[in-house]
Structure formats: C-alpha cells, structure tokens
Structure 1
C-alpha cells in the first residue's frame, strides 16, 4: 500500500506545486517519486507473473507525474509500457470488470500514444484485447475511437516497409497500405456520423452510444471536399475531437505513401489541424487546472 500512497503523493504534490508555482513542493514531490520508483523496482525484481490493481495504479500515477515533471525524455513511455505489461500478464479476461477494467480503459490511449511514439505494435490492438474486456461493460464513444486508433499501428509498420523497400514489392505494399488506410478513414467517418447524431457523445453512457442511430448523410467519406469535423462547445468534446482529428491527420498523411491522389486531401488535412489548434485555444480559455493540458 505504501507504493500506492507514495506514487499518489508524488503526482498530486507535483501537480499542486506546478499550479501554485512552488518549487519547494515540486522538490518534495520528486523525493516521493524516487521513493515510489524504488518500491516499484523492488516489486518488479520479484518477477511476479501477476500484479494487483494497486501496483498497476501506482505505475499509472507515475505516468502522470512524468507528464508534469518530465524527469527524462521517455520515462513516461517506460511507465506506460510497464503498466500495460502488468495488465497483459493477467490476460484480457481479468480486465472485464472492477478496478482492472477501469485501469485498462484509462491506459488504452496512453498505450497508443506510447506505441506510436516508439513506432511499435502493441497487444492491446489485437482482437482479444479490443473485445473481451468490454464483454460486461460496453464501449463508449471514446472506447470505439481508441479502437480505430489502434488500427493505425499496423499501417505504420507497412509504411516503414515501403520507405525501406529495395525491391519491386513496394507496389504490393502500397496497395496494402492504401486499403488499410481507406478502411480507417471509413471507420472514422462512421464514428463521426454517430457522434453528430447525439447531443453529447462524450458524456453518453455506453448503452446510449451503442444504440444511437448514425446520422444519414449524402457525403462520400472519401470525398476530399467533405470535412467531417466535430464542433466543440465544451471541454470534453474539444478533447475528444482533438483525438479524432489526430487520427484523421495520421491516416490522411499515410495516403501520401500509397496514393497518387493524396494531394487532394491537403485542405482536409489543414481543417483537421486547425480544429486541433482551435480546441487547444478553447480549453486554454476555460478557467481551472485543466487549462492548457491538451
């Protein structure tokens, strides 16, 4: 339990010290972080194949500490990988309910960001990890968007092969990448259609999201002149919309490796980029500790 307490104390103290611009509180938080880190290393050295929710929670708190403190360039990535590995050890069935289910949902976006940062594949993108943990508690709009994000990871792997290809197999790889990316664009379009049919997709409970009727539009999801954007009126929608815009940016940029028509999407790319900047400005204008965190 002391590991959990130390990690929570470290992250919360550093957060408060940052808000209050008090370097002494931040310094004290770093001491608690070091203590929590030593405790975590001690547990990991025991080579246990099963980790409790407390230990995984402590690791997640260390992730949030590193997001604020940035003690080293990729320390947060190491913590994300460590926490996700602990969940993997228990299998997807252990993440269907309770505290581990909540930790799993919390870690999914962080895991995707860490994976794309390192250009690595991840087990959470596998079908068993995108389905089994949600057998009891259905997916929300956010959960389904993360599913689509994970589908980008294999695309990056194919893109790397195209870039480094030295044989004529690159034409086959380009065709494969093009098919994969177009499917993601279509999935993003379906997700967007469902969102705009609801007043507040972010706050909608899972059952409401799953039963929502997709708004029928006449637009072609692949039409470069169609700009499927989410317009934010509150902070949660702004944050969700930024994740959605980021997914579109990655997918559309990948088209430049697979299609000679990719240049047609330049304006759509600019619209999504501007939407992210607009959301950042919107959140920064909201008073409170969350401002500027996007």
Structure 2
C-alpha cells in the first residue's frame, strides 16, 4: 500500500510540475531565463530554478547548507526521529516559523511531496535509490556527504555548481579566522593536549575519527591520539580502536575526551553505570581530571554550523 501510494503521489507531483512548466512557457522568454541546467555528482542533469523559492534539505546537514548558502527555504523541513526540532546550534533566524516532519531513519517521501519544494538538496548519495525518487518530486542535487572524507570538499563543489561561491567563501573565511584565533590562544597558553573522540556502545569504548570532531582537532593542530587511526588533518586512515571494560587501561595517554550526547545533553558516556562502576575507568587521567566534554552528536555529521559549533565546544573546553 505504501509503495502504491508513493507512486500515485509521485505521479501527481510530476503532473503538477508539468502544468507549472506549461504556464512558465506561456509567459515567454523571461521565465526560461529563471532556470539553470547543471549536472549533479550523480551524473544526472537537472533544470532547477535559478533562485528557488521553496528549497528543501533532505537531511539535517542539507538544511544547514541551504541556509549557509542563502537559499529561500520551503516552509516545512525534515528532522530526525529523535529530534523534536532543528539543532540548537543552527542559525535560528531562518528557521522561525518553519514546520517539521520526520524523515530519518525512515524516509518520508509523502512528507517531502506534501511540502511541494521547487528544489531538493540531498546529501545521502550513498543510497542510490533516493535520487530517482526525489527527482520525481522536484529537481534534486544529490551528492555523497558521508563518504568518510572531509565534508567541506563536496560542500565546495556543490556551492560552485549552484552558483553560491560568495556565500561559501564567506563561511570559509569566517571559520578560518575563528580557527586562527583559537589556535593562537592555545599556543600562547601552552595548551597542547592529546585529544580523542570517544564513544561507548555495546560494552566497548571506541576511539576513532569520523566527521567533524577530528577535522576540528586537525584544524587546531591538536595531537589526535594514535588510537584513532587518523592523519594530522583528522581524516581516518584505518578503523577505530575498541576496548572492552577489562582493557580500558589502553586509554592512558589521552588528556581530553570529546563524546557525543543527545540533543538535550543527556547520554554522555561518563554517566553510564557500566563505566562509573569500573575501577580502571575511574583511574584514567581524563576521568580524574574531569576533562570529558559532551557535544550534540549531530555536529559530527558535517555541515557549516556543526563545524563552527564543535570548534566552539573545543574552545570552551580547553580555554574556558
């Protein structure tokens, strides 16, 4: 039933788009000048409005990118199932008055269709089934934001493709200026800790480098623990390292830990009873020195506001 409903809804959307296209053609050459044609990273050529009036970000990070690049947003945007609203570290002014619908981890194509977007930005390019379905709803720029590389590379490419290099350059300049300021103050105070991004799942503590945290560590020139298997830029060169509760002594040598939390700040690994009751864990320097710092886990996935927000988390943790 769900697939049949989706097919009917998608067909309705195509028909609506066709009617819109006919109306645009009837208005003459001025309407044609308001669209642009471009090839997306998937190899699909789309024709989209030069200045979309109702852009939709298919995932949370896509919405942040749309805002950063100055797109006019549709009045309803998707959120994750475990979020009541948009992340608190997003710029709040563009979000005023926006409604939400859940679109992750289950994809809600009916919800997207109901929004009636005129452009969709979709960073979940690793799922090759999504783009054809979204193209039936609105012109869609699909790219892979979660390939394990620096998210800023596809961000730069899409900004170029979409004619938003000025906005991209502004964010980049602002971010780099902030990095330079924090790095200078760390150097002046001789603060050079060994840092780690850490998680506790299924009875194991893992240290690795995925996404924003290690990229910020690299930007600041901090020493990332070798356990993370990352290069100096914070990019992974191997798998994360996992420790059972009996092996936690292997975490010696880490000075400061950063760990993801829920949107409301709950879920920091130091509150887990299995770790709180572990004698080895309680002897680790970052536990005894109270240098475990939480961050909203959504920051890790890679977006302009998430990158800046995590930089501010590190700044506050290390500089006060």
Compute the TM-score of the two structures, normalised by the length of structure 2. 0.25
Q: Which structure has more helix as a fraction of its residues?
A: 1
Looking at secondary structure, tell me which structure has more strand per residue: 2
Q: Greater RCO between the two (CA within 8 Å, min separation 6)?
A: 2
**Which of the pair has more CA radius of gyration?**
2
